[in-house]
Amino acid sequence: MPSTMQDEPLSLATLLRYATTVHADATVRTWTGSGSRVLTYRELGDRAAQLAHALTALGIGRGDRVGTFMWNNNEHLLAYCAVPAMGAVLHTLNIRLFPEQIAFVANHAGDKAVIVDGSLMPAFEQVLPQLRTVRHVIVANGDAAALRAPEGVAVHELDTLLAGHSSTFDFPLLDERSAAAMCYTSGTTGDPKGVVYSHRSNWLHSMHACTTDGMGIRTGDRVLAIVPLFHANAWGLPYAALMVGASLVMPDRFLQPSPLLELMAAERPSFAAAVPTVWNGVLAAVDAAPQDLGHLRAVVVGGSAVPPQLMRAFEDRHGVRIIQAWGMTETSPLGCVAWPPPGIEGEDAYAYRVTQGRFPAPVQARLVGDDGTELPRDGKAVGELEVRGPWITASYYSPDAGTVGSDAFRDGWLRTGDVGTITADGYLTLVDRAKDIIKSGGEWISSVALENAIMAHPDVVEAAVFGVPDERWDERPVVAAALRAGAEADAGVLRAFLAGRTAKWQLPERWTFLPEVPKTSVGKFDKKALRARYSSGELDIVVIDSTSTQTNSDSRAG
């Protein structure tokens, strides 16, 4: 029996229309290093209409991909608004990849135009000659005339391009299942793979981000999006903000701890989001020069495991509540968010807050064992996490209808490559990524658990643990740690510190100390790079002899 309901498609144009009229005075503000460039949502709406006209005039139509090569700023949000609303597809390029990888991704997606920040022109010039499908480059906040472009590529300056166009645009009624945006995985463990979001998936994801069990984004919030707009849709913050008329605060290229703290002092955001490494840096800076962070009602942190120590330090010393979330580019990205159950507070709440989070109704989750059978949700059984739902990708993008990464899907479920447990009441605890888990003497060592235990030492700023081949045990963990300036701890001290916190046979023998742990393009510990540096002998390894310290044979010997 058909319903009587109107069949109104879920379209990002609706969010744009709503935010720019009902919340016309809300703002997006971009930090300049000493103040903010401010655009009201009314002006954002006018400019989005102008950009839609301008892109149409350049021959960009339905389904055409428009790349962005940009920092988080007003102009990037403008592209987020105009491109999908007019029926084209926003493709956020990761500015931190190598030029060859960026070119691979832009060619694979078939980008027809790219919007580039002026300050990124030197990096983009290295990519541009390798781009096969791009016909137009639009420079925002820079001197377009200075960009060296190959023949056949027209270069435009954003403001000049917009000038003269009408500030109203008749945004088309689109099929809600059509493509709105695409994003490639950051390639932490393999080649980047393309995910194509629909209007419907983005819309539903935004609604979830605005629920109290999602990220709780609401009218009146000032949302600081530190997570890049090219990293999994900035975790959904831009469209969530439009959905409720929350204001956005953008850091542009000022991503170091001190400028971020200056920005926060000036703009007093109520909500912020970034990966743990960013908050690690901010914590050190705000510990050294305390400032009021009481304006932050919550900070969502994800992308990699959040060290419990980081949560406690922010809460105890600065009154900032960190909420852990888990997700992937493939999941739009919100999978689960670690809010404790109602009524559970203080110390008791940590048992829930250190998990990766609780799944919401639209994200179904299951754990699957090595033999493909489903495992119980009892908080104990460890298996690969598989998910499905309306904002989870069903495949990877392939320009020629071929199959890319098809082994990541099973019977309509996305295989996440993450390994963990789920409790009966829906909380996920990740043990590790399948590719990072260390298989030592037939048993598993969670690199994440070791990292968290080591980072609990006050002298440790960062610690990444990665597996290396070992003749006796197949694989053993190596610790790469960065210590605080003036720290006195060394491998022996840290190993002794770990001894009370982890099984003896898991205690690492090999340690290396670096000024900073290498990071991926989205700020995660880069274990691929660490393994490569280890095997080429580049790392200075301190070995604490396992026989002399009588460590790693005990548990397996019985």
Any idea which residues carry the catalytic annotation?
185, 330, 439, 444
Select 157 or 330, whichever has its Cβ closest to ligand ADP.
330
**236 lies in the site for ligand ADP, by CB under 6 A:** no
Candidate residues 67, 84, 118, 187; the one interacting with ligand ADP per rule CB under 6 A: 187
- Closest approach, Cβ 300 to ligand ADP, in A, equals 10
Q: How far apart are CA 345 and CA 177, in angstroms?
A: 41
For residue 153, what is the DSSP state?
-
- Closest approach, Cβ 186 to ligand ADP, in A, equals 4
How would you classify the pairing of strands 542-543 and 179-184?
A: unpaired
Select 78 or 95, whichever has its Cβ closest to ligand ADP.
95
Per CB under 6 A, contacts with ligand ADP among 425-444 are 430, 433
Q: Which stretch, 101-109, 261-269, 297-305, 544-552, contacts ligand ADP (CB under 6 A)?
A: 297-305
Please give the full DSSP string across 6-56, using - where no structure is assigned.
Answer: ------HHHHHHHHHHTTTT-EEEEE-SSSEEEEEHHHHHHHHHHHHHHHH
**326 lies in the site for ligand ADP, by CB under 6 A:** yes
Q: Which stretch, 41-49, 183-191, 391-399, 450-458, contacts ligand ADP (CB under 6 A)?
A: 183-191
Q: What share of the chain is helix, strand, coil (3-state, %, to 5)?
A: 30, 25, 45
- Closest approach, Cβ 302 to ligand ADP, in A, equals 4
**Beta-strand (E) ranges in 185-321?**
194-198, 222-225, 247-250, 271-274, 298-301
- Closest approach, Cβ 184 to ligand ADP, in A, equals 9
Contact assessment for residue 102 and residue 109, using Cβ atoms and an 8 Å cutoff: no
**157 lies in the site for ligand ADP, by CB under 6 A:** no
- Closest approach, Cβ 281 to ligand ADP, in A, equals 18
**304 lies in the site for ligand ADP, by CB under 6 A:** yes
Joined tokens for residue 109:
């997606």
At 200 the three-state DSSP class reads helix
Candidate residues 92, 185, 247, 332; the one interacting with ligand ADP per rule CB under 6 A: 185
Q: Which stretch, 56-64, 184-192, 200-208, 497-505, contacts ligand ADP (CB under 6 A)?
A: 184-192
- Closest approach, Cβ 345 to ligand ADP, in A, equals 21
For residue 449, what is the DSSP state?
H
**422 lies in the site for ligand ADP, by CB under 6 A:** no
Select 101 or 329, whichever has its Cβ closest to ligand ADP.
329
Q: How far apart are CA 226 and CA 429, in angstroms?
A: 25
Joined tokens for residue 392:
């989870």
Select 236 or 417, whichever has its Cβ closest to ligand ADP.
417
Backbone φ and ψ for 252, nearest 5 degrees, come out as 50, -130
User: How distant, in Å, are the alpha carbons of 290, 361, 444, 511 from that of 467?
Assistant: 38, 36, 11, 12
What character string, x for contact with ligand ADP (CB under 6 A) and - otherwise, covers 505-534?
Answer: -----------------x-x----------
Select 73 or 188, whichever has its Cβ closest to ligand ADP.
188
Select 110 or 405, whichever has its Cβ closest to ligand ADP.
405
Candidate residues 58, 293, 305, 481; the one interacting with ligand ADP per rule CB under 6 A: 305
In three-state form (DSSP H/G/I as H, E/B as E, the rest C), the secondary structure along 251-262 is: CECCCCHHHHHH
Per CB under 6 A, contacts with ligand ADP among 193-232 are 232
Total residues contacting ligand ADP (rule CB under 6 A)? 24
Candidate residues 36, 277, 280, 324; the one interacting with ligand ADP per rule CB under 6 A: 324
Q: How far apart are CA 120 and CA 139, in angstroms?
A: 9
**356 lies in the site for ligand ADP, by CB under 6 A:** yes
- Closest approach, Cβ 392 to ligand ADP, in A, equals 12
H helix runs in 412-482, sequence order: 447-455
**Beta-strand (E) ranges in 118-184?**
136-140, 154-157, 179-184
Candidate residues 64, 157, 267, 418; the one interacting with ligand ADP per rule CB under 6 A: 418
Select 81 or 313, whichever has its Cβ closest to ligand ADP.
313
**303 lies in the site for ligand ADP, by CB under 6 A:** yes
- Closest approach, Cβ 356 to ligand ADP, in A, equals 5
403 burial class (0-12, 13-18, 19+ CB within 10 angstroms)? exposed
Q: How far apart are CA 240 and CA 373, in angstroms?
A: 37
- Closest approach, Cβ 259 to ligand ADP, in A, equals 24
What character string, x for contact with ligand ADP (CB under 6 A) and - otherwise, covers 17-56?
Answer: ----------------------------------------
Contact assessment for residue 49 and residue 166, using Cβ atoms and an 8 Å cutoff: yes
Select 250 or 387, whichever has its Cβ closest to ligand ADP.
387
Candidate residues 101, 206, 309, 416; the one interacting with ligand ADP per rule CB under 6 A: 416
Select 75 or 526, whichever has its Cβ closest to ligand ADP.
526
Beta bridge partners of 440: 443
Which residue type is seen at 26?
A: A
- Going by C-beta distance under 8 Å and a sequence separation of 6 or more, which residues neighbour residue 459? 483, 484, 487, 488, 489, 493, 494
Residue nearest to ligand ADP (CB): 188
Contact assessment for residue 526 and residue 480, using Cβ atoms and an 8 Å cutoff: no
297-323: burial string, b at 16+ Cβ within 10 Å, e else: ebbbbbbbbbbbbbbbbbeeebebebb
- Closest approach, Cβ 202 to ligand ADP, in A, equals 16
Contact assessment for residue 432 and residue 446, using Cβ atoms and an 8 Å cutoff: yes
**Which positions touch ligand ADP (CB under 6 A)?**
185-188, 232, 302-306, 324-329, 356, 416-418, 430, 433, 522, 524
